[in-house]
Amino acid sequence: MLLNLEIIQDYLPEIYQTKLYGPSNHSCTVSRPLLYESGQVFQEDTLYLAAGDALPKEPPSSACSFIVAGSRIPKDWLLGGVSLLVISNTSNVLRVFNAVSMVYNAFDRWDEQLRDELEKDIDFDIRRIFYLGALQLKKNISMMNRSLQSIFRAVIEIRPDGSPEIRISDTPQYIDWEWTEKIKEVCNLERIITVPYLSEIKGTRNRYYCYNIYSFGNFSGCISFGEEAGSFRDSDFSLMDHFFGYFQKAYEKYLHSCAKEDNSSLNALHKMLDNIPVSQEELLPLTLHSDEKWCFFRLKENRKV
């Protein structure tokens, strides 16, 4: 998975004293770093790792990025508009390289887990996508359909030992009328936005990073990360953008599977009403929980005399 210097900085062990210099790139564009060798020709869109005292006097003219171990850095590098992540309290390049590799390994596993779940067919579960997003970002996630009904929620709580506990709910939930009006006021303005955006609702202190889902050309709902479990860091936004790309595809897959279930349920119901034999397999979509029951209505035309 491609990352950026902000992500690497936030996910390095806390023992390292880090600081960013130069222009920031919020997109995930760099792969694992190359170890810098003296006299090496720098290439664009490449991440290098070097000791500060091993850098050449003149900074590169190409658009590349650097992780620098040690505080002895040529002044022109700090002022020359180069994207740098400086780790000032160590000059051990090998140790830093291993720590950075561990960061990449963790995000490669996350990306692989998202992709593996998305590529499943029979046992695909969109709740697993939700879980992976909340676990990595340490943020609550909510998905509302186009009717402003909350259909998926991931709530994260931190246990006393520091480990996260994530509760996933897929029970449809309607919001009370007061909150619905507040959300409608915001959504009527924001539902036409086709890129991720920050949003706030009057009466709350938290911000929400939202992405409107358009499935088959139509607005289908909005997924959002909330700040209830902690404020957003700069690195969170590029990671949430990455997650949104997977969720867009996952939600389309979910809607497609729901359409199949709805059709099979209707077909079985039509057969029952027409006194046509129905197999046990066909009856499965109509199976009710212990606290549910079917209600049938017979419509009759009321003709005025």
Which string of b and e fits 131-161 if b means at least 16 CB within 10 Å? Answer: bbbbebbebbbbbbbeeeebbbbbbbeeeee
What is the structure's pLDDT at 81? 84
**pLDDT for residue 25:** 84
Residue 282 has pLDDT above 80, yes or no: no
* Mean pLDDT confidence for 133-139: 95
What lies within 8 Å, CB to CB, of 126 at 6+ separation is 152, 250, 251, 253, 254
Question: What is the mean predicted confidence (pLDDT) over 84-97?
Answer: 95
CA-based R_g, the chain, Å = 26
Given a cut of 90, is residue 188 above it in pLDDT? Answer: no
Residue with tokens 């499965």: 284
pTM for the complete prediction? 0.81
pLDDT band at 12 (very low <50, low <70, confident <90, very high): very high
- Average pLDDT, whole number, for the chain? 86
Quick check: 263 pLDDT over 60?
no
pLDDT > 80? residue 253: yes
On whether the CB atoms of residues 46 and 34 are closer than 8 A, the answer is yes
Res. 183: pLDDT tops 70? no
Instruction: Say what the pLDDT of residue 295 is.
Output: 73
Under 8 Å CB-to-CB from 62, ≥6 apart: which residues?
42, 43, 44
First to last CA, the chain: 73
- How large is the average pLDDT for residues 193-221? 85
All domains in the chain, ordered by first residue: 5-103 (3.40.1390), 120-250 (3.30.450.240)
